[in-house]
């Protein structure tokens, strides 16, 4: 197994500098996500993500429902963080993202969760919806690295990230797993409440690929580093599959590993919107896959 590069950053002292840099992004004017709420979260103020200075965790454990390169034999060590920087009307985890499913934990408690997952034999630490909790996650990682953490870190996010935050993660995150939700800003505004999703998403995907490249797996088929993109097919092609796949193939890499997902179901506020108040059809998913292949992509999650 390749030693994660974050261990070298710790040995040189640069890891601690990254922790401090992340906290400066959160306070006194939070800019951890492109919303830039501008509030002082270290003082307890909260913005759209509803999260203050401590980590909020809904659950953690070995997860076997992720993509095969993450799951392997022993599972992906997922930590589900509470809150979110997006406001998706169809969110299927709305109890975590907008409800009260998460609980505040200490930085040390979060580090213990990481170490527990590693001791269980999980192949990676999978940080689910981490964007708005980046400083706390890095502070916990620093403690865990000192205690011996040495498995890949997965950054499992909604894809609405500022490049300045991602640059802090260069050499710390081994596997980026962002969503590419929409191929237009207009749909992003309607369905996720942000006016610039596609613009920021493309910038983020470029930066992520610059850092880690295409997804690389070991001889067992378990991911060691690289980019894995998720794209959820929506009713009526609202996700803009052609635009997303064209961008990935022409501006990221034809070898991009993509999970074109068919599991959309109405949830949260989607029932009030007739155009998304239904599941997708077999034909819609088949057309999405045909588009992805026609654009030249060839590595898909099965």
pLDDT per position as a tens digit, 172-194:
999 999 999 999 999 999 999 99
Average model confidence (pLDDT) across the chain? 96
pLDDT computed for residue 99 by the predictor: 65
Q: Is pLDDT of 53 > 70?
A: yes
Percent of the chain with pLDDT over 70: 100
Q: For residue 215, give the DSSP letter.
A: -
Q: Is residue 230 part of a domain?
A: yes
Q: Confidence class of residue 98 from pLDDT cuts 50, 70 and 90?
A: confident
Residue 46 lies in a domain: no
Name the residue range of residue 166's domain. Answer: 6-31+53-300
Gap between the Cα atoms of 152 and 130, Å rounded = 15
Residue 237 lies in a domain: yes
Number of other residues whose CB lies within 10 A of the CB of residue 68? 14
Residues 227-251, mean pLDDT to the nearest whole number: 98
pLDDT above 90 covers a percentage of the chain that reads: 92
Instruction: For residues 70 and 226, give the distance between their C-alpha atoms in angstroms, rounded to a whole number.
Output: 11
Q: Cα separation of 301 and 69, whole Å?
A: 9
Q: What is the pLDDT of residue 270?
A: 93
pLDDT of residue 94: 81
pTM of the model as a whole: 0.97
> What is the arithmetic mean of pLDDT over 201-227?
97
**In this structure, what token pair is assigned to residue 52?**
């203050």
37 in any annotated domain: no
Q: Is 91 domain-assigned?
A: yes
- For residue 3, the tally of other CB atoms under 10 A from its CB is 8
Q: What is the pLDDT of residue 201?
A: 98
Higher per-residue pLDDT: 2 or 66? 66
pLDDT of residue 145 exceeding 90, the answer is: yes
Q: With 70 as the cut, is the pLDDT of residue 104 above it?
A: yes
Give the range among 65-74, 97-106, 158-167, 225-234 with minimum mean pLDDT. 97-106
pLDDT at 88: 96
- In order of 35, 71, 177, 180, 294, the CA distances from 237 in angstroms are 26, 29, 22, 14, 16
Domain count, the chain: 1
Task: Answer yes or no: are the C-beta atoms of 291 and 258 closer than 8 Å.
Answer: no
Asked if residue 39 is part of any domain, the answer here is: no
Six-digit token string for 144? 């865990």
Averaged pLDDT for residues 10-29 = 96
Do β-strands 299-300 and 257-261 pair in parallel, antiparallel, or remain unpaired?
Answer: parallel
CATH of the domain at 196: 3.20.20.70
Average pLDDT over residues 295-301: 98
Across residues 143-160, what is the average pLDDT? 98
Residue 261 lies in a domain: yes
Domain-embedded: residue 86: yes
The answer to whether residue 156 scores a pLDDT higher than 70 is yes
Contact (Cβ atoms closer than 8 angstroms) between residue 236 and residue 265: no
């Amino acid at each position: 197994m390749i030693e994660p590069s974050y261990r070298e950053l710790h040995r040189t002292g640069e890891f601690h500098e990254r922790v401090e840099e992340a906290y400066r992004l959160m306070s006194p004017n939070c800019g951890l996500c492109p919303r830039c709420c501008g509030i002082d979260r270290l003082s307890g103020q909260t913005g759209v993500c509803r999260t203050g200075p401590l980590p909020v965790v809904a659950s953690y454990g070995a997860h076997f429902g992720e993509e095969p390169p993450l799951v392997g034999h022993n599972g992906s060590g997922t930590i589900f963080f509470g809150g979110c920087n997006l406001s998706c009307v169809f969110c299927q985890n709305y109890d975590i993202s907008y409800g009260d499913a998460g609980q505040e934990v200490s930085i040390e408690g979060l580090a213990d969760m990481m170490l527990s997952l590693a001791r269980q034999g999980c192949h990676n630490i999978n940080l689910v919806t981490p964007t708005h909790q980046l400083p706390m996650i890095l502070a916990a990682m620093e403690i865990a690295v000192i205690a011996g953490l040495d498995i890949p870190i997965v950054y499992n996010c909604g894809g609405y990230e500022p490049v300045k935050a991602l640059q802090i993660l260069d050499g710390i995150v081994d596997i980026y797993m962002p969503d590419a939700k929409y191929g237009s800003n207009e749909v992003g505004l309607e369905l996720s409440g942000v006016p610039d999703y596609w613009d920021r998403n493309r910038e983020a995907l470029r930066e992520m690929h610059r850092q880690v490249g295409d997804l690389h797996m070991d001889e067992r088929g378990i991911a060691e580093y690289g980019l894995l993109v998720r794209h959820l097919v929506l009713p009526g092609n609202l996700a803009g599959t052609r635009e997303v796949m064209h961008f990935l193939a022409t501006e990221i890499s034809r070898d991009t590993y993509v999970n074109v997902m068919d599991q959309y179901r109405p949830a949260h506020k989607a029932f009030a919107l007739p155009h998304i108040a239904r599941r997708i059809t077999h034909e819609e998913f088949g057309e999405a896959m045909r588009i992805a292949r026609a654009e030249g992509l060839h590595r898909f999650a099965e």
